Copies of this chain bind each other. A is one copy, B any other.
Amino acid sequence: MIAENQQERLDASWISGFTDGEGCFHISINRISGMSLGWQVLPEFRIVQHEKDESVLYKIKDYFGFGNVRINRTDHHGTRKEFRARGLENLNKIVIFFRENPLKTSKKKDFEIFSEVIEMMNDKEHLSKEGLDKIAKLISCMNRQPKIKYLESSETTRSTL
C-alpha cells in the first residue's frame, strides 16, 4: 500500500491546502560580488517536512516537474527536509499555480508580495537601485522574514528608510 501511495499523483487543491499549512514564500537580498549593484535578489518557494514525510516532498517535486528536495536543518527534533524551487522560470510557474489554486489563509498576502516581486524581476527592475529599494520594502511587509541586510546596509539606509 505504501508503494502504491508513492506512485499516486497529488492533486492541485491538496497542494494548495498543504502549502497554506506548511509552505513558505521567501525572498532574500544577498550581498554578492559580480552583480552590478552588489546585491542579489533570491526568491524561493519552500515546503518543509520532517524527513519521515520526505516522500510527500518528492511527490510535490514530481507534480511541478522542477525544484529539489534537500536537507533544511537538523536539530534535536531530527532532520527536516524541504522541497525548494528557485529560478525565475520555475517561480513564474509557481505563481501561475497559486493563481489557479488560491491560498485561503493569510499566507495569501505573502504570496501576493512574492508574485509582485517575481513580476518586477521579469521586467528586470531588480537590476536598478530603485527597483531593489522597492523590493526590499515589499519584503519587509512579508510575514516571518528575517532581517533584511540590504535595508540595514550603510549604503542604502539613507535612500530607503
Contacts and interface: CB of A to CB of B under 8 A. Distances in A.
A21 interface: yes
A44 interface: no
Contact of A52 (B16, B56, B106): B106
A11 interface: yes
Nearest to A12: B13
A13 B49 CA distance: 19
Interface in A13-38: 13-22
A134 interface: no
A21 B17 contact: yes
How many protomers of this protein does the assembly include?
A: 2
Contact of A10 (B10, B104, B106): B104
A128 B105 CA distance: 43
Given A13-B13, A17-B14, A17-B16, A104 B22 contact: no
A104 to B, nearest CB: 5
A53 to B, nearest CB: 5
A77 to B, nearest CB: 11
A145 to B, nearest CB: 16
A46 to B, nearest CB: 13
A49 B17 contact: no
A14 B13 CA distance: 5
Given A5-B104, A20-B21, 16 more contacts: A5-B108, A12-B13, A13-B13, A13-B17, A14-B16, A16-B17, A17-B18, A18-B21, A18-B104, A20-B56, A21-B21, A21-B22, A49-B105, A52-B106, A56-B104, A56-B105
